[in-house]
Amino acid sequence: MPLNTTVKSRVTFDATDLAKYPFSADAVKYIDSLGFSITDLDSDFGRRILERASERIVSAIKRRRILTLLEDVDTEVLSYPVSILLLKKIQDDILAKIYAVAESKRVYSLLLSEPVEKIVYIAKTTFKWNIKKVLGTDFEEGSWVIHFSHYLSNIPEFSPHWKLVNRVLLNGYVVVSREELARLLEEQIKRFIIEKVHTPAEPQPLTVPKVVEEYVDKLLEEWLPQRTRITHPLREVEVSEGEYPPCIRFLLDKTRRGENLSHVERFALATFMLSIGKSVDEVVKIFSSMPDFNEAITRYQVEHLAGLKGSRKKYSPFKCENMRTHGICIPDKKCEGIRHPLQYFLFKRRR
């Protein structure tokens, strides 16, 4: 069965497509043509881009999906690489995967409404896939085949449907449907994003505007408490106090010495412990050695912070900036680059 190796592309890729597929080769060329640099993020337009990039990540965290906004093409296109920049600064593998899955699913849902020629165009121009059109009568009109190497690299799941032994092979190519091409491309995009986030920075990176760090801090406040809830229940495994940040160890030592903690110190210690999976009983016990300990009052306050009383809002721990403001930041050498006590704790647990 012959394959057409010279299929002429009749695909149009307009501004809307750039916003829908900001990872594409066409979008990269468009971004280059804008002449936008990282230093431009410290401007009104740059802040709009940062806001949208942050929205993409927060949406992935909270809803596991990302919407495509087409009202402002330039902001939408530029927000994608800026979201990668923010994820690079955060350096969290789980968050990178959550974001990559959400973005790839967003793309997949859009590809299902596209003509197969556009799916092929993106796969070939952006990811250099070897795809050809089937000629002849044994297959449906418009059937496509993908080289087995690209097929195997992007199998989305280990099910019988995708196993090579259950596929039609043609001279080293696998026959695929339009929907299967879109699904394979979804998997490629997911891996592509994760690799982008993990790509090391240039040896001499450009100075990142302070406003970027501000958005990183906001995202960490949103993400870190969520992270502890989606990973394994920490109170069911042994947790060494050596994994706690020095500020928390300092506060624990004060309670053990029988010293009273200020209101701010109690808030910082209780919210941190609740966020890493400690129970209300465990947190109440921590405060039991303080001179002014009252179990009923302490339990009510801890339950309130845990979202079990009052407004039912679970309170998040202070970030490092708040700890410094209140004079309870006790940094060590490992605190460099850390913006949140939970970030310190999670980094220590990964090692």
CA distance 304 to 312: 7
Task: Quickly state the pLDDT bin for 221 (edges 50, 70, 90).
Answer: confident
Same domain for 194 and 81?
yes
Which H or E element spans position 299? helix 295-305
Same domain for 39 and 66?
yes
Task: Quickly state the pLDDT bin for 234 (edges 50, 70, 90).
Answer: very low
Please give the model's pTM, rounded to 2 decimal places: 0.73
| Whole-number pLDDT of residue 8 | 47
- For the chain, the domain total comes to 2
Residue 75 and residue 48 in contact, taking contact as beta carbons nearer than 8 Å: yes
Amino acid at 236: E
CA 148 to chain centre: 30
Which residue range(s) make up the domain with 344? 240-350
Same domain for 99 and 194?
yes
Same domain for 213 and 301?
no
The answer, yes or no, to whether residue 293 has pLDDT greater than 90, is no
CA distance 44 to 33: 20
Same domain for 213 and 290?
no
Same domain for 196 and 316?
no
Same domain for 103 and 244?
no
Same domain for 300 and 196?
no
DSSP 92-108: -HHHHHHHHHHHHHHHH
CA distance 276 to 291: 26
Token digits for 250? 């300092």
Task: Quickly state the pLDDT bin for 116 (edges 50, 70, 90).
Answer: very high
Burial code (b: 16+ CB inside 10 Å, e: under 16) for 273-310 equals bbbbbbebeebbebbeebeeeeeeebbebbbbbbeeee
Choose between 117 and 227: higher pLDDT: 117
